[in-house]
Chain A
Amino acid sequence: MVASSPGNNSAVLRWAGLVLVGLTLLALPFALAGVGTAWVRITNLAILFIFLSLGLNIVVGYAGLLDLGYIAFYAVGAYAYALLASPHFGLHLPFWAILPIGAAVACLFGVLLGAPTLKLRGDYLAIVTLGFGEIIRIFLNNLSSPFNITAGPQGITLIDPVRVGAITFGRTDIFVGLVFSGPVKYYYLLLLLLLAVIVINIRLQHSRIGRAWEAIREDEIAARACGINTRNIKLLAFAMGASFGGVAGGMFSAIQGFISPESFVLVESIMVLSMVVLGGMGNIWGVIAGALLLSFVPEILRYTVEPVQRAVFGRMLVEPEVIRMLLFGLALVLMMRFRPAGLFPSRLRRRELTQET
């Protein structure tokens, strides 16, 4: 992509805008904490879902491979963290050591899954990845006997919070008169990681590898004729996507302090897919918007639907959880039908829409 050289004014404006966004993001947790600490936690989870969506976006959006078992990599990262930093095995590795391990293990699983299946046609690949996700979940549920590896359905508790030097993320600290609760600290850590993830995504997209992914998505035969080793490049997409999932999983473990297989069911995979589809496959900012939308709207509904229903009907008719799931399902159906490029089509796609007669 070639940006036309912006004038001085617009450059200043852009910087001003960035600074403004930055300041807002920095002040956000305090504003949210004013409403309720729950909202800081919700925001943190939303950021984790942005990680996941951006990771899945590499696989689905760039390379065009429909992965329905993506949450398995999240699970692998989460369990890697939990097993290496909890009383379960008595291991307590520091987070900066585990996070890369989690990413690497998830990446390995990505390659293990991808190597035999990537030659399959798209819809078959989708079903196989779905099966893979289920297999991982079944193993997590059952690997508690005869040797207790995953603690089965009870899950793993007392997972170490992140510690960096003297700062423990689980605790509340007061610093220059501001209250930094655990979730607020995690928010800043996640924000930092998110920045890195976004930069990595943008750089990958506008690179030789990113273009190769898009080429495969657009036309695999032509991609091969251009000398692209489609098998390796697809595997790379799987591995990269899985690594992102692994990192997100590790952070999830640390933040929650408790994980169980229940957090890694198929519906979660579909949720992430909905976020990618809603925002616009292949479009980083769209995907982020999609993840934010589908993270926050259900939460807002949770806090509004119940009182509204009680006020209007005198009782609860539709649980917020159901509304949440209907939202995901309908997002997939309606987007494919009416806006396949997503709610927020990239500039490229928008140009394409205006060009068409």
Chain B
Amino acid sequence: MDIFLQQIINGLTLGAVYAIVALGYTMVYGIIQLINFAHGEVVMIGAMTALTVIAGLAGSGVPPLVIVLAGVLAAVPVCMAVGYGLERVAYRPLRHAPRLSPLITAIGMSIVLQHVAMMVWSRNFLAFPQIFPNPVFFVGGAAITGVQITIIVLSLLIMGALTAVVFRTRLGTAMRATAENPEVARLMGIDCDRVIALTFIIGAGLAAVAGVMVGSYYGIAHYTMGFVLGLKAFSAAVLGGIGNIAGAMLGGFLLGLVEALGAGYIGDLTNLCHLPWQPDLVAARCAADGHLVLFGSNYQDVFAFLVLIGVLMFRPEGLLGERVGQRA
């Protein structure tokens, strides 16, 4: 098996999900410079809603494709409602408050959403029903599943559609104008409140799809699943340059690759048995086990944070963005 190619495939799948979630962060940030901390929870609610619908319809004789579509079609409006609610209840009243206030509120909303979800869907890990056969294809010594192909293709389609919305429609123009300068946009007759609300709604819709993707990829859903996923997607948005749509896509895929390759290779790289010179203690353990790994793939979650800290320290504007992370 080709580990490298395999990790690339896994990384692209993961990256596709990060990219879709990162778009939600970046659009909101681009327009009102707010880190919508609760965005990850919207992803979780999307996954949970879809899971409920799919599990309910599974075995009812309805064709599997219809069931999955029904799950997505249920998740999207639910998430949009949550996204809109977040904006109205938690963020809009604080639009002119000190910068940190909406962030604190967002953290509060995140905790509230998590625990409401726990009340609704229990604190257990829920299995995502497998209603499709998930074919496995082999490409040059690596395996790629039908779900992975679907996730990657679907995410590319969504990104294309979103780009078209932002750069080709009146709404997109209004969004970009509001992002550029809300005061001027308002003078031009743009209803900024509406544009901001729509941005949240679009982001939440994307989050819903991402939730279904990540749920079917891992096969499980849990009320805390959105949190780390959200953080990683935020890191991806920062990596690409927050506020920049293409940046979020690029950052998402890159972060997915970094994580997959990192998890795939860190064990080998930190295997002390590869050291040319080994202290007695190490040599003894290597003789017994053949490997003495300092950091294994269980450190996978660290990479996203290291990327985030590294980007903010050395290139706060991200790969494609303008300079924002630092004070003037």
Contact = CB atoms under 8 A, between A and B. Distances in A.
A binds B: yes
Contacts, number: 132
Interface stretch (A115-123, A203-211, A298-306): A115-123
A142 B231 contact: no
Interface in B79-129: 89-90, 93-94, 97-105, 107-112, 114-116, 118-119
Interface stretch (A4-12, A126-134, A157-165, A183-191): A126-134
Given A126-B100, A131-B305, A332 B312 contact: no
Task: Determine the interface band of chain A, counting residues with CB < 8 A from chain B.
Answer: 35 or more
A134 B231 contact: yes
B111 A329 contact: yes
B313 A332 contact: no
Contact of B107 (A131, A132, A273): A273
A337 interface: yes
Interface string A320-355: 001001101111110011001000000000000000
B107 A127 contact: no
B157 interface: no
A124 interface: yes
A220 interface: yes
A267 interface: yes
B181 to A, nearest CB: 20
Q: Is the interface of A mostly helix, strand, loop or mixed?
A: helix
B108 A336 contact: yes
Which of A64, A132, A266, A318 neighbours the largest number of chain B CB atoms within 10 Å of its CB? A266
Task: Determine the interface band of chain B, counting residues with CB < 8 A from chain A.
Answer: 35 or more
Contacts of B324: 121
B294 interface: yes
Which of A270, A322, A329 neighbours the largest number of chain B CB atoms within 10 Å of its CB? A329
A66 interface: yes
Nearest to A125: B312
B111 A131 contact: no
A142 B111 contact: no
A196 interface: no
Contact of A331 (B94, B97, B108, B309): B108
B107 A332 contact: yes
A333 B293 CA distance: 44
Given A127-B35, A146-B294, A333-B109, A117 B299 contact: no
B101 A340 contact: yes
Nearest to B242: A124
B112 A131 contact: no
Closest 4 CB pairs of A and B: A332-B108, A329-B111, A131-B305, A329-B112
